[in-house]
Structures are given as structure tokens and as C-alpha cells.
A and B are shown apart, each in its own frame.
Chain A
Amino acid sequence: MSGTPAGRHYLNSAYGIRSWLLTVDHKRIALLYLTSVTLMFMLGGVFAALVRLELLTPAGDFFHADTYNKMFTMHGIVMVFFFLIPGIPAVLGNFLIPMMVGARDLAFPRLNLLSWYLFTIGAVFTLFNIVIGGVDTGWTFYTPYSSAYTTTNIVPVALGIFISGFSSILTGLNFIVTIHKMRAPGLTWFRLPLFVWAHYAYSIIVILGTPVIAITIVLLALERVFHLGFFDPALGGDPVLFQHFFWFYSHPAVYIMILPAMGVISEIIACFSRKRVFGYSFVAASSLAIALLGFLVWGHHMFVSSQSVFAGLIFSILSFLVAIPSAVKVFNWTSTLYRGSISFQTPMLYAFGFLGLFTIGGLTGLMLATLGIDVHVHDTYFIVAHFHYIMVGGTVMAYLGGLHYWWPKITGRMYPEWWGRLSALIVFIGFNLTFFPQFIVGYLGMPRRYYAYPPEFQVLNVMSTAGASILGVGYLIPLVYMIWSMRYGKAATANPFGATGLEWQTSSPPATENFAEPPIVTEEAYAYDRIPVPERGVYAG
């Protein structure tokens, strides 16, 4: 447990590009993912910036409508399929789950490497399509526009998403088998960290949902290339069937993004308030409840697509029900904070940011689940604001918080605390300035996906674009100091935050086989009353 970067660990156990590209070590694969996912995030961010630039003025000044359509489509595809969905599980989950269950690696290390390659190949197909002209359907690929009318490159993008879907499936499969079969002696289900529970629920959704989008994409491609009829109304096919298929996966995909984020938040809040998580078993079970209920609500995306009012009513009620396990989590985190010994480290600031943004996103979700309101704000910026609060506000805050929290474990170096807190603050301010005006402008009636708008919406759009540039700065700061800290950061001890959990019981960075000896677990997670608070000097910036 020496914990200095001088020792032998997974980063210096082998050198050279081959040792990375052929690695089967889950920790190295996590870093491969970190690199790819960060690249995709930056790319998606560039498209977002271009979209916001166009919307700075009411007239379409910068791009043609076609170009604008391709911009927001690529922003959506890249961010959803190549950042938000794989982000936390592929990077943090890959790195941490074997360690958290006390295993030497995931159950199927070579499958894990394969899933990174599939992710990369999928990303290449998708990026290749930008080079040859882009796609203009929006990330939802609604038929029959996508299958019969658009002249843009649906098939390469569909193939890219199909391939990266297999990457998700294999990751989920690996997690499920690892969590079931590779737990250390004494690590019972109800001693698992909530991060593991969240990833278990995530894996269930991935296993059950991703194959459905995969077959949907296959059918779309078959219809487009071979003119087989499935969704084409000219043949009697039903375009709304495509929407059912699409949302059967893509609504649960929101929980694919947010459940791992919730796992991260549980770890951070317990550590930085130095308390057991209030209602541990309820938080664990609520992950499973979200996973199961999440499959029953896809119809709330289709209130205005010829669905019967009765079906709409059922989907509306079921959508309300998902709020219950989500609220269970938020209230339990709040109760954990109550009378806790809170320290405002960077990860905790990001966690607070998560709580605020997720709550706003969740409550507006209740508004949208209400049939009447949804019909009013359908396909307006209100929707855009809502899902950015949930998917981006929730997932990115947790991703950055988790990255800071486990950074010492991953790299063996501390991040600069002052800069970390600054970035958390800027991201929070920038995010709210970007997306809160969109609630208002959407409620006033500005539709989404339009490249020009009436002049009365300009003030709110300028605010939003200004916020986006602040948000961009907030994301760039961690990028710079994280890279800086890998070389110049202070050496981290094995457990700089004084946290519980098996991953903190090995050196930072861990050895290739994770633990010198297989750990034996004798108590529940989050026994923070047994661990002394580390001295301030250890992690002060």
C-alpha cells in the first residue's frame, strides 16, 4: 500500500503503444475509453457551439437550413451515442467495478477490449459520414423521412450506431457477470457500493434495450438499401411503429445515462459528508425500480403521434411513477447530507450541481408527462431544456465529479483543488445560463430544430449562447489541468479522501492485478463512522 507513483502499477507495468492497444487490463481499457469519449465530447461540443452561434440572431446568417440540420443532428448523435451513453460506465465503471467487487479484472477481459474496438469502429463510421456530407434527420431518424426521402448518408451512421450498440451490450454483459460471479468473499449483495448497484441496473437496461434499437436500425437500413417495406406508408407500413421501436430503447437510454451518474453521486455524497448513505437499501432498490419502470414509459414521446388518448393516459401515469424512485434517491442523498460533516471539495461541488440540475430536469419531466402541457410545449425548446437538464446536467456533472473523485486513484496524482472548484462553479453557472432561458423561450413557443426564429425570442437566445460559451470554458479548464496534473500534480496517497470502498484499499495507481491479496469484506459499505477524516493538507490544492 505504498501508493507512490514510483512503485510498480498498471500504468508502468508495460510500455509502448502495443501494450495499450492489446491490453486486457480493465483499468487501461478505461483509459482508452477516457481518451475516445473525451474526443467525442469535444466534437459534439463543437457542433453544439455552431448551433448556438447560428441561433445568436433571428435570421439564418451563418448556415443554410440544410447545414444547420446536419449540425444539430451530428451534435445529437455524437453526444448521445458516443458520450452520454458510454461515458460513465465505460470509463469509471470499467475502472472501478472490478476493484469495487474485489476482483482482479472483469469476467471477460478480451470481450472488454473488443467492446472498446467496436466503440471506436462505430465512432469512425459516424465521423466518416460527416466527411461525406452529414445526416439531416435529427438523432431520432424518424421514418419515412429517413428511410425514403432524405438524400443524406443514413446508412453509415446507422451502421456506426449499430456497432457501438454492441459495444454497450458487451460492457453490460461483462458488468452483470462480474457483479454476479466475482465478488470477494464476504461481499454480499447488500454490502456492495451503490455505484455497483447503479451499474447493475444500468446493465439490465442495456441488455434489454440495446438489441431493440439494433434490430430497428437493421430494419431501417434494409428498407433504405433493399427497399424492403417495414415503415413505409406507401406499402401500408407504419412509421409510428418505428417510433415505438425507437423510444422503447431511447427512453430507457435516458436511464442508461443517468443511473451510473446516480451511482457516482451516491459515492461522492457519502464520502464528503462522512456518513452512511441514508436508506442504503432503498437507494439500491430504487435503481432497479428505475430500470424496470423506465421500460414502460416510452409512449410519452408519442402523445401527439396518432396514439389514442387512452394510451396517452396510461403512459402519462406510468411516467409519473418513475418520479418515485428518482425522488427516493434525491431525498436519501439530502438526508445523508443532513447533519453530515460536509467538505466542499471539487467532487462534492459537482455533486451539488447534479442535485440542483437533476431536480430541475426531473420536475419539468413531470410537467411534460402531463398530457395537456406536453401537447402545448411539444417539440419546443422547453423539451430541449428539459432533456439537457436531465441528460447533460445530470450525467456530465456526475461524470466530472466522478472523474475528480477517482482521479488520484486513476493517475496517482492529485488535481489542483482551487482550479477544480473554479471549474465546478463555472460549469454550473454556464449550464444554467445556457439552458434555463430555453425553458422560457420554449414555453413562449419557439420550436426546436429551426435555424431562424421571430425577433422577439432573441434576448433569451443571446443569453443561451452566452451561457454556452461560459459552459465551454468550464469544460476546457478541467481538460487543461487534468492533463497538467498527470505530470506535475502532487502524488496521491492510496486513500486521499479517507473514503470507504475496496478501491481505496489498494495503492494509487493500483497494480495490474488490483490487489496484492484478494480482499475479504467484513462490513457494509459506507462505514464512515469508523474512518478518521484525512488531514486537510493532503488534498488542499
Chain B
Amino acid sequence: MKKVLVVCGNGLGSSMIVEMNVNSILKDMGVEAEVSHTDLTSAKTEQADLYLGSGDIVGNLEDGKKNIVSLNNLMDKKELREALENNL
């Protein structure tokens, strides 16, 4: 079971919406994965197979080991779909 983590500054609003979108796209693709959302501080210590968020946020997670995709437009489902297809 792969794990996708969506990150935003507060871990409340935007990341939750993106998480819902990720869930619906994964359903479309027929892929099973565990999806959750959190804030930047918690994300640093949480393990996941794919980290998603806007560039200015997830850029802070770079440690050379994590699989990070920064999204240009959080609300763009096409971009999100590509990110998921290329990384899961």
C-alpha cells in the first residue's frame, strides 16, 4: 500500500481539498493508496511514498531522500493527475 501525503502551511484547508481530489483521481485510475494531509512541520517526520504541495511549501521538505512533487496550481486536477500517474 503506497502512501500519499498532501502538505500545506496550516494542514487544514488547501491540503484537505487536494487530498479529496487525490482520492477521487486514484479511484478513477483504479489505484489503491493511503492518502492523508498535514502541516509542514509534521510532514518532515512523517513517512510517505509521495509528498504533494505547492512549491514554496514542499521545497522545504527536500532532503534528497523524499519523493516530492510541487504543484503549480493546487486546484488543477490535470496537473494532479499527471503527478500521481508518474509517481505511483
A and B physically associate: no
A residues apposed to B, CB below 8 Å: none
